Amino acid sequence: MPKFLKVLITIILIILISYFGIVKILNIPEKIMKKIYPKNYSEYVIKYSQEYNVDQLLIYAVIKAESNFDENVVSNSNAKGLMQLMDSTAYEVANNIITNQTFEPDMLFDAETNIKIGTKYLSELLEKYDENYYLALAAYNAGIGTVDRWIEEGTIKSDGSDIENIPYKETNNYVRKIIRDYGIYEKLY
């Protein structure tokens, strides 16, 4: 299939998904949905989801939202790779898990390294927030200090039951998108 046609189909499906939501998505043939919601890099996702006790479907949803499975992407804020890790965060996490070499920021473009560090970081956030996906994802996007401040100030509850109150529009949409995609991955796989 020509690349142009793939891009056009993807754009149309994204519009449909955004407009109709998850209920109507299920009417799209499963074969097409699995192309939109792939399980790329499964050897690494499975390995590190087991090692760090994170649901692999959540990892796929994060990768889908962060990079759409493009291991070479760099964001406007300089987050890198599949799981869009900032150098400082990756360095901190990597120092605890990479013992045979010195961490270098360019290592984030290596799929296995990025998934390993990103999954470990996500596991630390899930542990910090008592396995609450909403709060862990909000912290993944906005930072731990920011989420802790929101909880302390009463902007959001510590059980994550009021994610609609997340004040940063980007983070609010981010959490909702990943939770939606996580649900889609659960239905497909």
Rounded CA-CA distance 69/39 in Å is 9
Residue 119's Cβ-side half-sphere holds a number of Cα atoms within 13 Å equal to 27
Under a CB-based contact definition with an 8 Å cutoff, are residues 123 and 129 in contact?
Answer: no
The helix (run of H) or strand (run of E) holding residue 176 is: helix 169-188
Under a CB-based contact definition with an 8 Å cutoff, are residues 85 and 74 in contact?
Answer: no
Q: Which of 30, 43, 51, 66 is catalytic?
A: 66
Rounded CA-CA distance 95/102 in Å is 8
Determine the residue type at 105.
Answer: P
Whether 43 is a known active-site residue: answer: no
Rounded CA-CA distance 175/69 in Å is 18
Distance of CA 172 to the CA centre of its chain: 14
Selection from 11, 117, 121, 111 nearest residue 69 by Cα: 111
Catalytic residue IDs: 66
